[in-house]
Amino acid sequence: MTGRTTESQVDGREAAVLRLRDVHVRRLTTDQLILDGIDWTVRPGEHWALLGANGAGKTTLLRLLGALMHPTSGTVEVLGSRLGRVDVRELRARIGHVNAAQRVPQDLSAHAVVLTGHSGTVQPLWRTYDDEVRERARGLLTELGVKELADRPYGVCSGGQRARVLIARALMADPALLLLDEPFNALDLPSREDLVEAMHHLAEGRPRLATVTVTHHLEELSPAVGHALLLREGRTLAAGPVEEVLTGAHLTACFGRDITVARREGRWTAYSGRRVSGT
């Protein structure tokens, strides 16, 4: 399915986690159109990949989903609340957001980093963490496959281990929506595969959790990712089930190169042979 989601596809179905309608974003300083007429619906339990070339608008779109900014025009509903009509501070507390660049004190233990997800702070607020909260943090480390890191300083963890610790931190608020901004950035192959497996298990264990993952590489998608949205120059090029969206033709149009796509046992691969003429 390409283009915009139609209202008939919304009617009669479960309430959306995310719903965007005719969303535009312009940069105030230059009047540049960054997002142009985005329509998008994400429902509970759906796992989406968000792909596009650098400058396509992925970061801006993710900031809208995380209630970190407002659209210039159009409507954005997150967890049933419309931006502009809700206290975004309360809304953000219900959204899990993972970014490898987020500030984390390097000397904190992995367990302490996860605890800060409960208080929504950079530094731990130790007096606010009772035994139940501390045990929950340990349980999330176990769920993400890194329980042995509980007492290890975050700064000496590998990139893949840090990514899983940050996901555990984001889950402390028990969010209905988890946003992952290039969580695989700079990971080596073993670390990437560990994180793919962890994300797959997370999806299986939390059937109501919706996720949106920004990535540049199809190889980073777990078999749980069932939907994808492709952005090109701020517009939706294609959106829907992965088997319909992640095709060679769509990715070639999205990235401006001749791209071949293959899927095996739920995992994707893609490679480019040459630049498409005229792009």
Shared-domain flag, residues 157 and 184? no
Domain of 211 in residue numbering reads as 1-94+176-191+207-246
Q: 137 with 180, same domain?
A: no
Identify the residue whose tokens are 């792009």.
Answer: 279
Q: Looking at the 3D structure of the chain, how many domains does it have?
A: 2
256 lies in a domain?
A: no
Residues 182 and 81 in one domain: yes
135: Cβ–Cβ under 8 A, 6 or more apart, which residues? Answer: none
**Do 32 and 48 sit in the same domain of this protein?**
yes
Is 122 within a domain?
yes
pLDDT tens digits along 37-95: 999 999 999 999 999 999 999 999 999 999 999 999 999 999 999 999 999 988 998 99
Residues 85 and 158 in one domain: no
Q: Are 43 and 163 within one domain?
A: no
Q: Does the predicted model carry a pTM greater than 0.75?
A: yes
For the stretch 229-275, pLDDT in tens is: 999 999 999 999 999 999 999 999 999 999 999 999 999 999 987 65
3-state helix, strand, coil in the chain (%, to 5): 35, 30, 35
Q: Quick check: is 66 in a domain?
A: yes
Question: What pLDDT does 29 receive?
Answer: 82
Q: In the predicted model, what is the mean pLDDT of the chain?
A: 91
Q: Are residues 24 and 118 in the same domain?
A: no
- Pair (1, 90) in one structural domain: yes
- Cα separation, 28 vs 69, whole angstroms: 13
For residue 197, tell me if it sits in a domain: no
CA–CA dist 257, 274 (Å, integer): 6
Q: What is the CATH number of the domain that holds 69?
A: 3.40.50.300
Sequence-separated (6 or more) residues with CB below 8 Å from residue 267: 196, 219, 221, 223
* Same-domain check for residues 137 and 67: no
